[in-house]
Structure 1
């Protein structure tokens, strides 16, 4: 019972971040829940929650979406997602958790260093970023870091970046769920777990969205980066210990 309560709390906190910034639900929820469950047991459920979260936020961000960049990003994601899902379905939990920890730490460091671009990349660059999103989304259930780097380091602006990330997640999570179904990862346990987390997710997204205009985005993102780094270290240590058993 305590384990379930902790899981719901993790989803709620991750959903507040998602509602505020447009990203972070998968990254925070899967990072936190991986301390309790194997990635293959939680990723499909979080994908379902991400899909609902994007649909819930879509009406409020529609006018700010940067549509021109979404097509090549989605194409790259479509190409690379099956490989990521295959990794999720066929690689044991400990290596997956270690890979997740390294991925989160590297992404957090890059974001923390303030990486920036002068222009939004063209078709080839955008497709490559989309492929990175698809690979990590399929394998870890986390498409965020490459996409966050893409938009928030570009001249698109915070509002356009947040809106475009939400729209992209709607596409990537649909693609990811289709591939997970093909790999046999979707079942009634997954659906029931997602339904159990759903109220916490909806309330968290609503809370985060209400605070979007009232809190300094820079300060909030710094807190998120610190939290991600701590979680990644914990997961990495846990994975290394499991590999040595």
Structure 2
């Protein structure tokens, strides 16, 4: 019989996989805070990363034809450059203060996105690289790499199918880069491996249902969904940061 902890993890994975399947991002955003209620945060992060690697392997075969390759390459390269910058910044800034700054940056970005809606595709290579650097810095500072990449795609005019596929690939790459460090830190152990394994059916079902939901969205509806998830990420990051001071 499954324990209460295991059941909560499975439910969190299902909900987060549905969100990820529909929006192309948001898995760790939803899963890590919920799983952290019953597990140490580092183990919650490990489970989130491991499962994103598992489902990402499936995405490589299913979605490779839909990705926007030029932007994805530049985002990934930028992330490699930006991650060390974010880690170095931690020496001068606490993780909670970083979360507050990131939440503020996300909200400012959302205001700009809401005021500007591209009417044609304008995938700017330099901007993609800059967004990748920002994503890496956000990841190094507070383990929140998503918002700059999402903001870039929403402002580029790239259609929702390519945006979703490219984001799924980007976070798969980010998860692959994070995995060795989690092993070194001891976050990947028999417990996290077991919980990840038993959650795979929920991961698969949630992803399938989310993908079905995405297929019913047009570009405008997808944009609205992505903006809503970004807003949620800003609220959660800001709350986690402020909770250390109140």
Q: Which residue of 2 aligns with 1:170?
A: 172
Instruction: State the Cα deviation string for residues 120-155 of structure 1 (Å, max 9, x = none).
Output: 122x32222112222333454443221111123212
Matched, 1:40 2:22: no
Distance in 2 (alpha carbons) for counterparts of 1:118 and 1:190 = 42
> Which 10-residue stretch deviates more, 37-46 or 112-121?
112-121
Distance in 2 (alpha carbons) for counterparts of 1:199 and 1:127 = 36
Contact 1:46 1:141 (8 Å CA) reproduced: no
Q: Which residue of 2 aligns with 1:199?
A: 201
Q: Which runs of 5+ in 1 are unaligned?
A: none
Distance in 2 (alpha carbons) for counterparts of 1:150 and 1:136 = 14
Q: Which runs of 5+ in 2 are unaligned?
A: none
Distance in 1 (alpha carbons) for counterparts of 2:111 and 2:31 = 19
Contact 2:22 2:214 (8 Å CA) reproduced: yes
Q: Which residue of 1 aligns with 2:187?
A: 186
Matched, 1:214 2:216: yes
> Which 10-residue stretch deviates more, 127-136 or 212-221?
212-221
> Which 10-residue stretch deviates more, 49-58 or 33-42?
33-42
Distance in 1 (alpha carbons) for counterparts of 2:77 and 2:117 = 24
**TM-score (norm. length: structure 1):** 0.75
Matched, 1:121 2:124: yes
For 1:8, which of 7, 10, 16 is the aligned residue? 10
Aligned residues: 242
Counterparts of 1:1-245 in structure 2, within 5 Å, are: 1-34=3-36, 37=39, 39-82=41-84, 84=86, 116=118, 119-122=122-125, 124-182=126-184, 184-188=185-189, 189-215=191-217, 218-219=220-221, 222=224, 226=228, 229=231, 233=235, 236-237=238-239, 240-244=242-246
Distance in 2 (alpha carbons) for counterparts of 1:87 and 1:39 = 21
RMSD: 3.7
Aligned to 1:23, the other structure's residue is in SS state coil
